[in-house]
Chain A
Amino acid sequence: MTWLGKSRRVVHLCLFPNGLRAGTGKSRSSVGRLLEHGPLPASPVFPHGRRSISCGKRNNRISTFPQVSRLACFQPGAAALSSSQRSFTSLPPHQVVGLPALSPTMEHGTIASWTKKEGDSFGPGDVICEIETDKAVVSFDAQDEGILAKILVQPSAGEVRVGQPIMVTVEDAANVAAFANFSPDAAVPAPPKAAAPSPAASTPAPSTPSPPPSPPPSPPTSAAAGVSLLGYPGRVFASPLAKTLAGQLGHDLRAIPGTGPNGRVLAADVREYVPPVVAERPTETIPPEAVRASAPAHASTVEKVAGAPIHGAGSTDYPVSEAGRGVAARLTVAKQTVPHYYLTVDLELDKLLSLRETLNKELGEKEMGLSVNDFLLKAAALASKKVPEANASWHGDFVRQYHTVDVNLVLGVGDGLLAPVIRNVDSKGLRALSAEVAGLLGGAERGELSEEALQTGTFTLINVGMYGVKAVAPIVSLPQACVLGVGAIENRVVPAAAPPKGEAAGEGEGEVYRVVPGVTVTLSCDHRVIDGAVGAQWLSAFKSLVEEPMTLLL
């Protein structure tokens, strides 16, 4: 390697004590700032003589610093961090050089070795140091003449960010001594951020008093071309001809199911589309336990219409309506945050069924009869009265016990489920309950349930018996404390109990078993509100009410 003009200089003891620098601490150039002085008068192209260089205001000399150009232009091929306007400084003119970005993707580098020592001079093309990048060891060449005044980062310092100062260079060898104890002000200036290869943001060099280049505006985020019809106004994925046709025929593109790739609406789809005569009824898919959130206003603004299904290659996408998504969110929260536990009991319904028969005979043919569900509703409400702790809700630092029992009864309607509330179940008679349930069912089928009817009560009951399901362990519907799940009524074989004295022996006296209609009910409880004992008490109360239905009168 050819070294041009290598001159070794001994670093003198600092002629300017630290006090000098400390005194002008604020004005001292911090990292990455070139010295630059105020605008000088325009000089002729070929002025005669040189200007003298002097440094240090304390010397009481008129500091005629060298021309701006010499300082400001001095670039030993390094990452010259920005320049600043300075009126005076205590240090001689110098340049603080940061780690250069030797490749467009370089973020960090390590100084592998310093080829030049402090005090060495270098010329254009000379290697100053070797820098290890993520890819290779690259030499850092000088582009101009200069003298290395101070090395700021040694090879042992490890990885350094691009832009972090690594050395100080000067033009005049006499100034080298002044930098013996130089250290950059700030720890690390904001290094030029390496933008991702995206064309968007190339941030400028660290900001300085001189106006920095304004950061480029980020490209406008391309509006997502709505691939699916999500039930809100947006760009519909349709072919141009389809758009034209739809406009001509007056159809709403959003309502037309698409059969093209990715669900694109094609012209054929538009031609075949027949708009529905009747306004579509809302198809909410609310699972049994998750009723409306407490605010009724929320329900009215919820978008009820789910978008048309999108047919794909091996599957069909059914867009979820706004309401559906809300329900899903509530369910998730309930399942994740409520500490559930489940208590199960088998009930024998023989007495309840015979009572029901009797009562229905009394009511006669004209009226709709009582159903088992009505009995269970009433029993649940009375059990809640007997164990009022179960008729409560969790509020963080207090538990609210309600004085009335309002039961949400989960109804299956067509494809969906609704859970309207029946108020004051504990104080209503079976007939009234039956009528109300029937009314709610009819209303649900017709889609006419009011907001009031869909509010949250204090208890929930879900009956899956009609599907033949033996038992269900429901999810607690926040903010309630428990929910009762009722299974299917089926004839079960149970061990024969010793018949009490006086009972008729018609059921097979001496037989080991008997057959009873039975049902399995499960109580899901929120353990924060009800502990196991309370839940068991409730369930035992419920069981005795159901198995001895006469006690419903009490």
Chain B
Amino acid sequence: MRRGLQVLGRKASRSSGGALGGKVNATPPIAAFSSDSSITVDLSKAFDTHNLDSAPPTSATATKEELVEYLRLMYTMRRMEITCDTEYKTRTIRGFCHLYDGQEAVAVGVNSALDLNDSWITSYRCHCVALSRGSTVEQIISELFGFKEGTVKGKGGSMHFYSKSHNFYGGQGIVGAQVPVGTGLAFANRYKTPPGENMPVAIAMYGDGAANQGQIWEAANMAALWKLPMIFCIENNQYGMGTSIERSSSNTKYFTMGNRIPGIRMDGMNVVAVREGMKFVKDFVGSGNGPLFVEMNTYRYHGHSMSDPGTTYRNRDEIVQTRSTRDPIEWVKKNLIEHSLLSPDDVKEMEKHIRKEVQDALKKAKAGSQPPLEELFKDIYCDDKGGNQYPPYIRMPDRTKSRTFA
């Protein structure tokens, strides 16, 4: 239920000022109004557009149930990533591990705006997207342990989560490689949709470090020519591994990188802003207007990966300040509490419950086991129905087919 708010029609605002281009200076606003079961969020400063005649609304409503759901999901993501950090430090998880804490609002916002028909592909920082699309905490942690109970049977690891049934295409180890693949997914969506209907969209998320790649422009060019329902989503967490955006990019306004392709920048720490923005984007590209460049202004608390302490290229003060002023989970909690939708105790209980859930999932995951050796040869070739099949010209795993003179 919304109480008398004027909806200001925004027109062709070309990169209006005051948007969250800076790093740590803008605090997302607390909602001004609330009813018994919903709040209204002011989004007037949350969006910047480029070459767009329309824009997402300047305010949005979020019901209590929605907010609670966002909080639950974000907090689960946060606890899961912290658990991964701890497990990595005890060497139960090894190899690559890129953590997403701080950026939860992006994943949750995108997840709430898109539906399961929309294809989603992202980079190696994919644990939380995997959680949104098809995996449970237990499966994710199992996968990080390398156990067969994991999402991809222990054969993928941190960077290669995947779920076809949820239209989640990973999980990519190579920086930027997911973008042309995502454009292909958009192409498939357009190809399969009868004309006149809204197409399911495809979103490829990549980082500011990948944003300057040539292949991304090539894919964007094709997407624009063919008017594909493609969302090029840049998760700008201000640092590409250890390089700040000012040092890595001549143009730090990544949403303008499409040149004539329109773009929009949104506050990635505000889950409602992300949701509203992505709803707008989905409508825009799904109706055949061509691709959009979407920049999520966000922040990661951890270093680039577990090998990176994260403090050698940025000031610790910056991290602390972001945590205290722009933390996405704190924002939702504050909104819930200040508008009396939930008491602080309730929030604490929920947090406790989620912690316990994650701990239980960790324990269950630890009880898993590595995949058997036969798994090595599966999921490489498949038959017509997608099941595993060994073509006759493959000798493994049956060595008797090898001709040896023993």
Specify which chain A residues have a CB less than 8 angstroms from the CB of B404 in the assembled complex.
235, 243
- Whether, in the assembled complex, A41 has its beta carbon less than 8 Å from a beta carbon of chain B, the answer is no
In the bound complex, do residue B90 and residue A100 qualify as a contact, i.e. CB atoms below 8 Å apart?
yes
In the bound complex, do residue A78 and residue B356 qualify as a contact, i.e. CB atoms below 8 Å apart?
no
Specify which chain B residues have a CB less than 8 angstroms from the CB of A68 in the assembled complex.
356, 359
Nearest neighbor of B358 in chain A, beta-carbon distance: A73
CA distance A121 to B178 in the complex (A): 43
- Knowing A143-B82, A243-B405 touch, does A102 contact B89 (C-beta < 8 A)? yes
Closest beta carbon of chain A to B109's beta carbon, Å: 22
- Whether, in the assembled complex, B163 has its beta carbon less than 8 Å from a beta carbon of chain A, the answer is no
Partner pick for B301 among A104, A125, A194, A220, CB 8 A cutoff:
A125
- Whether, in the assembled complex, B345 has its beta carbon less than 8 Å from a beta carbon of chain A, the answer is yes
A215-247 toward B: CB 8 Å interface, digit per residue (1/0)? 011001000000000000101100000011011
Interface size on A, residues (CB 8 A): 66
- From A75, A194, A217, name the one whose CB has the most chain B CB atoms within 10 angstroms: A75
- Whether, in the assembled complex, A396 has its beta carbon less than 8 Å from a beta carbon of chain B, the answer is no
B143-187 toward A: CB 8 Å interface, digit per residue (1/0)? 001110000000000000000000000000000000000000000
CA distance A162 to B367 in the complex (A): 23
In the bound complex, do residue A45 and residue B86 qualify as a contact, i.e. CB atoms below 8 Å apart?
no
In the bound complex, do residue B356 and residue A213 qualify as a contact, i.e. CB atoms below 8 Å apart?
no
In the bound complex, do residue A213 and residue B367 qualify as a contact, i.e. CB atoms below 8 Å apart?
yes
A436-475 toward B: CB 8 Å interface, digit per residue (1/0)? 0000000000000000000000000000000000000000
Specify which chain A residues have a CB less than 8 angstroms from the CB of B90 in the assembled complex.
79-81, 98, 100-101, 163, 192, 205
CA distance A262 to B353 in the complex (A): 65
In the bound complex, do residue B357 and residue A216 qualify as a contact, i.e. CB atoms below 8 Å apart?
no
In the bound complex, do residue B316 and residue A1 qualify as a contact, i.e. CB atoms below 8 Å apart?
yes
- Whether, in the assembled complex, B355 has its beta carbon less than 8 Å from a beta carbon of chain A, the answer is yes
- Knowing A81-B90, A124-B301, A204-B92 touch, does A45 contact B350 (C-beta < 8 A)? yes
The SS class assigned to the B binding surface is helix
B94-123 toward A: CB 8 Å interface, digit per residue (1/0)? 100000000000000000000000000000
- Whether, in the assembled complex, A175 has its beta carbon less than 8 Å from a beta carbon of chain B, the answer is no
The SS class assigned to the A binding surface is loop
* Segment at the B interface, from A46-54, A296-304, A516-524: A46-54
- Whether, in the assembled complex, B44 has its beta carbon less than 8 Å from a beta carbon of chain A, the answer is no
Interface size on B, residues (CB 8 A): 51
* Segment at the A interface, from B225-233, B265-273, B318-326, B389-397: B318-326
Specify which chain B residues have a CB less than 8 angstroms from the CB of A1 in the assembled complex.
316-317
- Whether, in the assembled complex, B368 has its beta carbon less than 8 Å from a beta carbon of chain A, the answer is yes
Specify which chain B residues have a CB less than 8 angstroms from the CB of A126 in the assembled complex.
320
CA distance A428 to B73 in the complex (A): 103
Partner pick for B359 among A72, A101, A204, A244, CB 8 A cutoff:
A72
- From B89, B91, B311, name the one whose CB has the most chain A CB atoms within 10 angstroms: B89
- Whether, in the assembled complex, B370 has its beta carbon less than 8 Å from a beta carbon of chain A, the answer is yes
Partner pick for B319 among A73, A77, A125, A211, CB 8 A cutoff:
A125
- Knowing A67-B356, A69-B357, A202-B91 touch, does A83 contact B363 (C-beta < 8 A)? yes
Closest beta carbon of chain A to B64's beta carbon, Å: 12
B312-351 toward A: CB 8 Å interface, digit per residue (1/0)? 0000110111011000000000000000001001101110
Show 18 residue pairs from A and B whose CB-CB distance is below 8 angstroms, ordered by the A residue.
A2-B321, A69-B354, A69-B359, A70-B356, A72-B356, A73-B355, A73-B358, A77-B85, A100-B89, A101-B90, A125-B316, A125-B323, A143-B85, A195-B94, A213-B147, A213-B369, A217-B370, A236-B405
Q: Which residues of B contact A (CB under 8 A)?
A: 79, 82-83, 85-86, 88-92, 94, 145-147, 301, 306-307, 309, 311, 316-317, 319-321, 323-324, 342, 345-346, 348-350, 352-359, 363, 366-370, 373, 403-406
Besides A104-B94, A192-B90, A211-B366, 7 other CB < 8 A contacts? A70-B356, A75-B83, A75-B86, A192-B92, A194-B91, A205-B91, A217-B370
